[in-house]
Amino acid sequence: MPVRIWRKPLDAEKIKVKKAEVHILKNQCKGCGFCIEFCPKQVLETSDELNIKGSHPPKIVDETKCALCGFCTAVCPDFAIFTIEKDCKEGC
Amino acid sequence: MTKKQLEMKHPYERFLRKERMPHIWCEGCGNGIILNCFARALDELDIDLNNVVVVSGIGCIGRISGYVNADSFHTTHGRPIAFATGAKLAKPELKVVVISGDGDLFAIGGNHFIHAARRNVDIKVICANNFVYGMTGGQYGPTTPLEAWTTTTPYGNIEQAFNLVHLAAASGAVYVARWTALHVRRLTESIKKALQKEGFSFVEVISQCPEIYGRHNKMKTAISMMKWFKEASEVRNFSDPAKADISPSRIIVGEFVDVEKPSYGRLLREMKAKLQTE
Ligand SMILES: Cc1ncc(C[n+]2csc(CCOP(=O)(O)OP(=O)(O)O)c2C)c(N)n1
């Protein structure tokens, strides 16, 4: 059996995992579903909500799961979603 | 929605003409992704929009010249390369980018393409290849794969398709790449490379047209077309572009050519300077 030698990184306290803010510009969305389908962390899901154009924008299931990979921002044909790092100066 | 969210602006908003948004492209159309990747490339390279010219031809993707917040021109069908050549030669300091469709660049505009590549005119050509003439109703064209169904090939296409990367490489382009609309990061990197290179650079983007191509070819939604790209794509950087085929089971993508050659504009200016000093 392999020896398990993992340990907690020494700088674990110092390293802060970035927190994400997911922004959906609902009325710009045409409802293609790419952001939902290709999110590696399943942050989004389909919703029943209708926007002014009559399509269903995505809804956030769990923002804390977002790893800020930015794929949703890049793959959105309608410039309707983007993620930014949360400003945690005052704690979050 | 909170007040803060309402105030939030999309990071690439400054690259778009806001008054023209939303664009006319269908739900899930690859053209929007190409616009997005192009904006990201400009952002990451920190290029001054005043030095960018976007030229497009006729077709769905042709509308892109009206959406980018740079000087742009929507030319007649097949002629963006001719216009771009003139713009580049008149003002060499500009970055001249042609973004157009497969029908526009390789059917009616085919001769402009091969000769601009042969002369190594310093322009960047991004081609949205959706395999059909999207805007006019999905007729088959020079890039429609063999056996594909379109509105004008109801029993399957019996013509062979152009291999665009092979055509560009054989015509003399200094940079040639192909990605699908799903390869957003690599596509952006290729657009960035093309923008920084001197000479005729060509980036082909296999783009989904679910409405007019996918629907006839057993891919009813944009997501199913994207899944096809995901499953069928095979990255083969710097492999022989002649063998970079596109079939239902395999789409060869990657960078195929990256060489240095003096551009037509540079040789022209050098010749002019030489003759003037003599
Ligand atoms: C001289 C001329 N011939 C034909 C047309 C009709 N026409 C308009 S768009 C188009 C095809 C465009 O196809 P493509 O370049 O693939 O762009 P897409 O719409 O698929 O994005 C054609 C043939 C035209 N506008 N002008």
B202 close to B127: Cβ distance less than 8 angstroms: yes
Q: Is B43 on the interface with A (CB under 8 A)?
A: no
Chain-centroid distance of CA B251 in Å reads 17
- Comparing CB atoms, the residue among A55, A75, A84 nearest residue B27 is A55
B67 close to B74: Cβ distance less than 8 angstroms: no
Which residue, judged by its Cα, is nearest atom 26 of ligand 1? B77
- The string of DSSP letters for B128-177 reads EE-SEETTTT-EE-TTPPTT--BTTBTT---SPPP-HHHHHHHHT-SEEE
Whether pLDDT at B4 is above 60: no
pLDDT digits (tens, 9 = 90+) for B126-140: 999 999 999 999 999
Whether pLDDT at B198 is above 60: yes
Please indicate whether, in this complex, the C-beta atoms of A38 and B29 are within 8 angstroms of each other: no
Q: A86 vs chain B: nearest CA distance in angstroms? A: 13
- Average pLDDT score over residue span B38-55: 95
- Average pLDDT score over residue span A19-42: 92
Write down the ipTM of this complex: 0.87
- Average pLDDT score over residue span B183-192: 96
* Centre of ligand 1 from the C-alpha of residue B84, in Å: 18
Mention every residue, 6+ apart, whose C-beta is less than 8 A from residue B180: B205, B206, B207, B229, B233, B251, B253
> A–B: how many Cβ contacts below 8 A?
69
Q: Is B35 on the interface with A (CB under 8 A)?
A: yes
Please state, in angstroms and as integers, the Cα–Cα distance from residue A35 to each residue in A28, A83, B83, B100, following that order.
14, 11, 37, 26
Q: Which pLDDT value is given to residue A1?
A: 64
pLDDT digits (tens, 9 = 90+) for A42-78: 999 999 999 998 999 999 999 999 999 999 999 999 9
Largest CA distance in chain A: 60
Please indicate whether, in this complex, the C-beta atoms of B33 and A77 are within 8 angstroms of each other: yes
Torsion of CA B188, B191, B192, B193, to 10 degrees: 120
**Which contiguous run of DSSP H or E holds residue B73?**
strand B71-74
3 state DSSP class of A22:
strand
* pTM to 2 decimal places: 0.92
Chain A residues whose C-beta sits inside 8 Å of any chain B C-beta: 23, 25-26, 28, 30-34, 37-38, 53, 55, 71, 73-80, 82, 84
Q: Which pLDDT value is given to residue B9?
A: 87
- Comparing CB atoms, the residue among A28, A32, A79 nearest residue B28 is A32
Which structure tokens are listed for B7? Answer: 């105030």
Sign of the alpha-carbon dihedral angle for B265, B186, B230, B258: positive
A18-85 CATH fold: Alpha-Beta Plaits (3.30.70)
Q: Is B70 in the pocket of ligand 1 (CB under 6 A)?
A: no
- The string of DSSP letters for B198-215 reads SS-EEEEEE---TTTTGG
- The string of DSSP letters for B50-71 reads GGEEEEE-SSTGGGHHHHBSSE
3 state DSSP class of B33:
helix
Please indicate whether, in this complex, the C-beta atoms of A32 and B10 are within 8 angstroms of each other: no
Q: Is B102 in the pocket of ligand 1 (CB under 6 A)?
A: yes
Considering only residues 118 to 147 of chain B, which have any Cβ-Cβ distance to chain A shorter than 8 Å?
Answer: none
pLDDT band (50, 70, 90) for residue A6: confident
- Comparing CB atoms, the residue among B22, B184, B185 nearest residue A78 is B22
Question: Of A20, A17, A16, which is closest to residue A70 (Cα–Cα)?
Answer: A20
Please indicate whether, in this complex, the C-beta atoms of A79 and B185 are within 8 angstroms of each other: no
pLDDT band (50, 70, 90) for residue B278: confident
Print the SS3 string covering A37-86.
HHCCCCCEECCCCCCCCCCCCCEECCHHHCCCCCHHHHHCCCCCEEEEEC
Q: Which pLDDT value is given to residue B113?
A: 96
Question: Of B275, B141, B111, which is closest to residue B213 (Cα–Cα)?
Answer: B141
Homologous superfamily assigned to B24-277:
Thiamin diphosphate (ThDP)-binding fold, Pyr/PP domains (3.40.50.970)
Neighbours of B51 (CB within 10 A): 13
**Which contiguous run of DSSP H or E holds residue B185?**
helix B184-196
pLDDT digits (tens, 9 = 90+) for B83-132: 999 999 999 999 999 999 999 999 999 999 999 999 999 999 999 999 99
Average pLDDT, chain A: 88
Q: Which pLDDT value is given to residue B44?
A: 95
- Average pLDDT score over residue span B26-39: 95
Q: B67 vs chain A: nearest CA distance in angstroms? A: 12
Q: Whole-angstrom Cα distance, residue B76 to residue B79?
A: 6
Torsion of CA B1, B2, B5, B6, to 10 degrees: 80
- Residue-range domain boundaries for chain B: 24-277
Q: Which pLDDT value is given to residue B2?
A: 53
When scoring A53, A56, A71, A79 by the number of chain B Cβ atoms within 10 A, the one with the most, hence best to mutate, is: A79
Q: Is B103 in the pocket of ligand 1 (CB under 6 A)?
A: yes
